[in-house]
Amino acid sequence: MFDDRSILVTGGTGSFGRSLTRELLTRYEPRRLVILSRDEQKQYRMAQEFSPDEHPALRYFIGDVRDGDRLRRAMDGIDYVVHAAAMKHVPIAEYNPFECIRTNIGGAENVINASIDCGVKRVIALSTDKAANPINLYGATKLASDKCFVAANHLAGPGGTRFSVVRYGNVMGSSGSVVEYFQKLLDEGVRELPITDARMTRFWITLKEGVQFVLDRMAAMSGGELFIPKIPSMRIVDLAEAMGGPHITWKEVGIRPGEKLHEVLLPYDEARNTLEFASHYTVHPAFNWWKREDHQVESGERGRAVQRDFQYRSNTNPWKLTREELLSTLAEGSPAEAALAAVR
């Protein structure tokens, strides 16, 4: 569905955007692929890897999701939008709340309005596990963003732009991830890695799998769904020990402001609106115009309702990456791809 289509990626110079760009240019022949971001240096560096001379469909577009007029200009003639731009670092958001709100909530409103005004066909917005029962500002702004994108379907009206949301956990190997942080410390020669809490668990997904999930859901969406992939969890302690090896120790340094001990992708309050599929969960919108019986089938598969008290939590997730599984694969290369390959 991406051949001969025009696609725009907000925050397109980030880890996800670069991985999505690689996938789209390798597997498809888009008419235009517009990379929108506000960082000219990141665009310059990305253009060294993905040159418009080699990929004529590419367009690098300086702009900020806070600027509605610039978004409307960027979306002229666009078919599909992947909204990946966000302010994502929990401590920075806690210290700069209004900036986080302007980007994550105000930016969502601008993306929605520009998409409707420009006649975009489909929009997928990237969310986070921190938006489920949020305790920090970043999660709260992403929850508000998610609600806006779901509600945007009735703002667009019948036959208008369709909006859906993808929610997943930590991305292994992405910029700013704990994997990158631990690797930086190890490269500097530290002998002790900092752990916020020995009990802490997180959901994990690789960039490649995150990109594929977004592309799959873009193809299958009706508009209004919140999609959650089935992904593994692991203890941060196991990650530190696997990356550091037998000669590296760790110490507890305490949970940072706004940080959870365990993450939730699907709280039980959303279970009543959720269908389970082989690879993911779909949360349906709680609007009277949404008829679940019309949306029980995705890509030929019929979903089934989860139990009313179902929760999808990182500490109770039955699919766990163990330290031994990581150790057996880290020597083969990046832990991002190797870790998940070990348990498939």
**Active site annotation includes 130:** yes
Using a 10 angstrom Cβ sphere, with 0-12 exposed, 13-18 middle and 19 or more buried, the burial of residue 88 is: buried
286 Cα distance to chain centroid? 22
Contacts of 156 (CB under 8 A, 6+ apart): 116, 162, 163
Q: Return d(Cα 79, Cα 115) in angstroms, integer.
A: 9
Tell me which of 42, 88, 130, 142 is the catalytic residue. Answer: 130
Within 10 A of 245 (CB to CB), how many other CB atoms are there? 10
Contacts of 54 (CB under 8 A, 6+ apart): none
Nearest to 83 by CA among 62, 59, 110, 60: 110
Question: Residue 143: helix, strand or coil by DSSP?
Answer: helix
The residues annotated as belonging to the active site are 130
